[in-house]
Amino acid sequence: MHVLVIKDLLNKIKIQNPLVHHITNNVTINDCANVTLAIGGSPVMATSIEEVADMVNLANALVINFGTIDDQTFDAMILAGKAANEKGIPVIFDPVGVGATPFRTKKAQELLNKVSVSIVRGNATEVYALIGGDAQTRGVDAGKIPLSNETLALKAAKDLKAITVISGQLDVISNGEETISIANGDIWLTRITGTGCMTTSLIGCFASITKDFFSAAIAGMSVMSLSGERAKSRLKENEGIGTYRVMLMDEISLITAEIWEEGVRFG
């Protein structure tokens, strides 16, 4: 069922070329714009409170990413999020670094209270903090949590009333009833910044062309993990992390429904 829908999404996205509005961080903003283009979407990164609502009116999805959150950007996120809810386009939330500082955790709760979010995508520590867990984290990377990612994804999807995606060695996606895991990936994906953020952008792209947000979340997550694995297998001796980063973008831009179906491994 999901396989057929996802193959269809992969075929359609390059034809539909959806506009995906991002309010995101200033570390990986360029990677998020490029990955949106690579999969067939069109990115726009607008943050001014003067224009975000108007930009949402042109867009097919809104991605909110907390990576370098500050008060002014947060206000723009709330404005844009409310406009997206009113227009009926999906809001996809990446809680980067939530749990690392009380400020981020407080702001994430405030966002979830004010804006209806369709999909949340984070690492295990971030999602654990989002549902009130006391997560040990130094920053944007995942740390240890006292429950399995499957249990956490299911609980978070129910608590947050949003499709929840937890990336990691095994990626887990839950809608609060059904939980699916993806076994693709490569440890090198954790050695370049932005692979989590780019995953959230990919999910935003797919969610912008369907109402089936569960399939959209599985699509975006699996495209990143499968492409990361394929990029690694293409590396030659003496090629390092810089080449890997370029090859990852190549693989994402070259993915087809056929490559995806052959390569994806549900866990």
Ligand X SMILES: Nc1ncnc2c1ncn2[C@@H]1O[C@H](COP(=O)(O)OP(=O)(O)O)[C@@H](O)[C@H]1O
Ligand Y SMILES: Cc1ncsc1CCOP(=O)(O)O
Binding positions for ATP are: 121, 167
Q: Residue count of the chain, please give it.
A: 267
Pick from Mg ion, ligand X, ligand Y, none: which does 1 bind, CB < 5 to 8 A by kind? none
Please give the structure tokens belonging to residue 218: 């599985």
Q: Are 235 and 206 in contact (CB under 8 A)?
A: no
Report helix, strand or coil for 20.
strand
Q: Are 130 and 160 in contact (CB under 8 A)?
A: yes
**Considering CB under 6 A, how many residues would be counted as binding ligand X?**
18
Please identify, among the stretches 17-25, 76-84, 129-137, 165-173, the one whose residues bind ligand X according to the rule CB under 6 A: 165-173
Touching ligand X, residues 111-150 (CB under 6 A)? 123, 141-142
**Cβ closer to ligand X: 186 or 212?**
186
Touching ligand Y, residues 142-181 (CB under 6 A)? none
Name the residue with tokens 């920053």.
Answer: 139
Site membership for ligand Y, residue 197 (CB under 6 A): yes
Encoded one letter per residue, x for contact with Mg ion by CB under 5 A and - for no contact, window 155-194 reads: ----------------------------------------
Binding positions for substrate are 45, 194
Helix count (H) and strand count (E) of the chain? 11, 8
DSSP assigned state of 237: T
Which member of 169, 178, 233, 239 binds ligand X (CB under 6 A)?
Answer: 169
Site membership for ligand X, residue 24 (CB under 6 A): no
Pick from ligand Y, ligand X, Mg ion, none: which does 224 bind, CB < 5 to 8 A by kind? ligand X
**Cβ closer to ligand Y: 32 or 83?**
32
- Which residue, 113, 137, 107, 112, is CA-closest to 125? 137
Residue 106: burial class (beta carbons within 10 Å; 0-12, 13-18, 19+): exposed
Sheet architecture: strand order including 19-23: 42-45, 19-23, 61-65, 91-94, 119-123, 163-167, 171-174, 179-182
Site membership for ligand Y, residue 96 (CB under 6 A): yes
Which member of 43, 81, 194, 228 binds ligand Y (CB under 6 A)?
Answer: 194
**Cβ closer to ligand X: 60 or 228?**
228
**Cβ closer to ligand Y: 25 or 210?**
25
Q: Are 218 and 173 in contact (CB under 8 A)?
A: yes
Encoded one letter per residue, x for contact with ligand Y by CB under 6 A and - for no contact, window 204-243 reads: ----------------------------------------
Site membership for ligand Y, residue 68 (CB under 6 A): yes
Buried b / exposed e over 47-82, threshold 16 CB at 10 Å, is beeeebbebbeebbbbbbbbbebeeebbebbbbbbb
- Which residue, 29, 3, 14, 1, is CA-closest to 255? 14
Q: Which residues bind ligand X (CB under 6 A)?
A: 123, 141-142, 167-169, 171, 185-187, 189-190, 195-196, 199, 224-225, 228
Binding site for ligand Y (CB under 6 A): 25, 27-28, 67-68, 96, 140, 193-197
